[in-house]
Chains A and B, each alone.
Chain A
Amino acid sequence: MTCQWQTGLLSPEPCGGLALGSCGSCGQSICMIHSSMGPSGTACPQCANMQPGYEQNEETEMAGARGSYYQQYGTSGYFSKNDESSVNPKKREKNDDFET
């Protein structure tokens, strides 16, 4: 399994590093660099940024900034809906057929 976390802001690319676990909130596979520990276990940078009690680092800061651009400028064109759900797990939960 490789890390599914999308790195970057303008030209997102999957990390591709060796995944050692998965995010407890959104389920994507994540490597060591992209996992944070907190009250609800392991989380990806985006989920760690949105949930209280998680230690913030450069990756979570980046995830927070990126999420705010998706929120402000919508998800048209290059930054598609799929990308948005990959950087915005809350939306993914809503769209996830298995959850509903």
Chain B
Amino acid sequence: MELAQLCPAAQNAALAKSITGEWDYPGFDQLLKELIAFDQTMDARVRRNLRWMVISIILCVIAFITMFILIGEDYLYSGIAAFVGALANMIRCIQLWRKSKKLALPEASLEMVHGLIRLLRQDLDPKAKITATIDLSGLTDKKKQSIKPMQWAYLDPWCSIRLKLRDGYVALVRQTDTFIETTKTKKGARGKTKSKTKWKKQCRVTARIIPPAPVVWGAPPQVDRVWERHKMVTKNDVSVAVLDRWWAFKQPTDAPTKSPAARDIIGMLFRLCAMRPKEAK
């Protein structure tokens, strides 16, 4: 799907790289479907443009070498012209690749949100709206901060979704990703410096279930002792059930794109919902 084919709301979200506001289920579902389709087109374009960029760089190098071979020959001017052409082509290919990369969206994030609302669609209060604040801009310089020399952190609290369930309870899901970028430089035998970048990504999802009125909660949920923490917090005299879960991903060279699956996040909500008193039914 091209940008022009998207509905106005999806166009705005794709360009602003953010989704905000209140949505009814069909509108939100459609928005996410369109953004996922748009991102697939963009990903294919990024791959294609990358291929052309590599070819253009090779052509440019060949033209450059040929130009040198032709020094002192009659065809030197043709060689220079060929090199200039190849150089211009290379610059254009790099620009196109960068442009397509800029338009691509984080697909794992979109798929998580879409999976979440799709499986919970029947639980939603039909009269209530889905409130979402979703930042799709990923790793930007604004989110970057230096921790120590050659190490940077990116803090990305990209997702906040509020769903009102049909039994009056409210489910809140928040996700914050933290990226750590570490660059190590080594001096080789011939004095050449080599640098290696490593990435770590930590995702934290906080799920909350807020009752419509003060309730007596049931037994605490089953939790994974390593990756999960459960607690109760009191807000406006109402006790809220909270479950936190962490995930860790590692990757060399590029920032990890993996993200928690909707399945696991719904599992967190499911366990919190199991704490509701029976009479709520």
Instruction: Please give the distance in Å from B169's CB to the nearest CB on chain A.
Output: 7
| Residue A77 interfacial (CB < 8 Å) | yes
Taking a contact as CB atoms under 8 Å apart, the answer to whether B122 and A8 are in contact is yes
Chain A window 68-96, contacts with chain B (Cβ cutoff 8 Å), 1 for yes, 0 for no: 01001110111110000000000000000
Assembly CA distance A76 to B278 (angstroms): 11
Question: Which residue of chain B has the shortest Cβ distance to A15 in the bound complex?
Answer: B122
Write out the residue numbers on chain B whose beta carbons fall within 8 Å of the beta carbon of A77. 218-219, 274-276, 278
Taking a contact as CB atoms under 8 Å apart, the answer to whether B277 and A78 are in contact is yes
Question: Which residue of chain B has the shortest Cβ distance to A65 in the bound complex?
Answer: B119
Assembly CA distance A84 to B66 (angstroms): 75
Write out the residue numbers on chain A whose beta carbons fall within 8 Å of the beta carbon of B263. 65
Question: Which residue of chain A has the shortest Cβ distance to B269 in the bound complex?
Answer: A10
Residue from B123, B169, B280 within 8 A of A9 (CB atoms): B123
Chain A window 46-82, contacts with chain B (Cβ cutoff 8 Å), 1 for yes, 0 for no: 0000000000000000100100010011101111100
Assembly CA distance A74 to B120 (angstroms): 19
Ordered by A's residue number, 12 sampled pairs between the chains whose C-beta atoms are within 8 Å are A7-B122, A9-B122, A9-B270, A10-B165, A10-B269, A11-B169, A62-B119, A69-B266, A72-B267, A73-B222, A77-B218, A77-B276
Interface majority SS on A: helix, strand, loop or mixed?
loop
Residue from B119, B123, B277 within 8 A of A11 (CB atoms): B123
Assembly CA distance A73 to B267 (angstroms): 8
Chain B window 118-137, contacts with chain A (Cβ cutoff 8 Å), 1 for yes, 0 for no: 01101100000000000000
Question: Which residue of chain B has the shortest Cβ distance to A72 in the bound complex?
Answer: B267
Chain B window 203-242, contacts with chain A (Cβ cutoff 8 Å), 1 for yes, 0 for no: 0000000000000001101100000000000000000000
Write out the residue numbers on chain A whose beta carbons fall within 8 Å of the beta carbon of B218. 76-78
Write out the residue numbers on chain B whose beta carbons fall within 8 Å of the beta carbon of A7. 122
Taking a contact as CB atoms under 8 Å apart, the answer to whether B278 and A80 are in contact is yes
Write out the residue numbers on chain A whose beta carbons fall within 8 Å of the beta carbon of B119. 9, 62, 65
Write out the residue numbers on chain A whose beta carbons fall within 8 Å of the beta carbon of B271. 73
Assembly CA distance A69 to B272 (angstroms): 12
Q: Which of B247-270 contact A (CB under 8 A)?
A: 263, 266-267, 269-270
Taking a contact as CB atoms under 8 Å apart, the answer to whether B273 and A78 are in contact is yes
Instruction: Please give the distance in Å from B275's CB to the nearest CB on chain A.
Output: 6
Taking a contact as CB atoms under 8 Å apart, the answer to whether B123 and A78 are in contact is no
Instruction: Please give the distance in Å from A38's CB to the nearest CB on chain B.
Output: 23
Taking a contact as CB atoms under 8 Å apart, the answer to whether B166 and A11 are in contact is yes
Instruction: Please give the distance in Å from B18's CB to the nearest CB on chain A.
Output: 27
Taking a contact as CB atoms under 8 Å apart, the answer to whether B122 and A78 are in contact is no
Question: Which residue of chain A has the shortest Cβ distance to B125 in the bound complex?
Answer: A11
Question: Which residue of chain A has the shortest Cβ distance to B267 in the bound complex?
Answer: A69
Taking a contact as CB atoms under 8 Å apart, the answer to whether B167 and A11 are in contact is yes
Q: A72-B267, A73-B222, A76-B219 are in contact. Are A10 and B171 (CB under 8 A)?
A: yes
Q: B122, B165, B222, B273 — which one has the most chain A CB atoms within 10 A of its CB?
A: B122
Residue from B123, B169, B267, B274 within 8 A of A8 (CB atoms): B123
Write out the residue numbers on chain B whose beta carbons fall within 8 Å of the beta carbon of A9. 119-120, 122-123, 266, 270
